[in-house]
């Protein structure tokens, strides 16, 4: 099972919006609505930000949103804030197993 494809880096200025893509196949992202997004700050455990493509857990700001089209899922962070600078990982169900993306380092300029 191959890892999902994410851009290694993304950036934006405070207040701007940035979108991170996550490309898989019809066997994972395209085949199921079980895509999750995680935020990870250095030295910390990952934090669930989006689940089942577009749902937000309690406590996650509505600046974070998720979507999916075909085999590509996307995470959009609106109104960028300094604390959004982190690594972001997507994950997808792939039929009795799960797979992560390689991660995207988001820099707030």
Partner 1 sequence: QVQLVQSGAEVKKPGASVKVSCKASGYTFTNYYMHWVRQAPGQGLEWMGIINPSGGGTSYAQKFQGRVTMTRDTSTSTVYMELSSLRSEDTAVYYCARDLYGSGSLVFWGQGTMVTVSS
Give yes or no for residue 101 binding partner 1 (CB under 8 A).
yes
Phi-psi region of 29 (alpha: psi -120 to 50; beta: other; left: phi over 0): alpha
Using CB under 8 A, which residues numbered 18 to 47 contact partner 1? 34, 36, 38, 40, 45-47
CB of 13 to partner 1, least distance (A): 26
Select from 86, 65, 68 the least CA-distant residue to 4: 68
Alpha-carbon gap, residue 27 to 71, rounded angstroms: 9
C-alpha–C-alpha distance, residues 91 and 36, integer Å = 5
Asked if 3 is part of the footprint of partner 1 (rule: CB under 8 A), the reply reads yes
- The one segment of 10-18, 66-74, 76-84, 92-100 that binds partner 1 by CB under 8 A: 92-100
Q: Does 83 help bind partner 1 (rule: CB under 8 A)?
A: no
Position among 13, 82, 96, 109 found at the interface with partner 1 (CB under 8 A):
96
- Please count the CA atoms within 13 angstroms of the CA of 100 that sit on its side-chain side: 11
Backbone angles phi and psi of 22, in degrees to 5: -145, 105
Choosing from 18, 103, 106, 108, the residue that interacts with partner 1 (CB under 8 A) is: 103
Per CB under 8 A, residues contacting partner 1 are 1, 3, 34, 36, 38, 40, 45-48, 51-52, 57, 87, 89, 91-93, 96-103
């Amino acid at each position: 099972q191959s890892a999902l494809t994410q851009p290694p880096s993304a950036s934006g200025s405070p207040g701007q919006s940035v979108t991170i893509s996550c490309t898989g196949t019809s066997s994972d992202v395209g085949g199921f609505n079980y895509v999750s997004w995680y935020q990870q700050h250095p030295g910390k455990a990952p934090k669930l930000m989006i689940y089942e493509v577009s749902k937000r857990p309690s406590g996650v700001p509505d600046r974070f949103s998720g979507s999916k089209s075909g085999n590509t899922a996307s995470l959009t962070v609106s109104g960028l804030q300094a604390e959004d600078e982190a690594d972001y990982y997507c994950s997808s169900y792939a039929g009795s197993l799960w797979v992560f993306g390689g991660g995207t380092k988001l820099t707030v300029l």
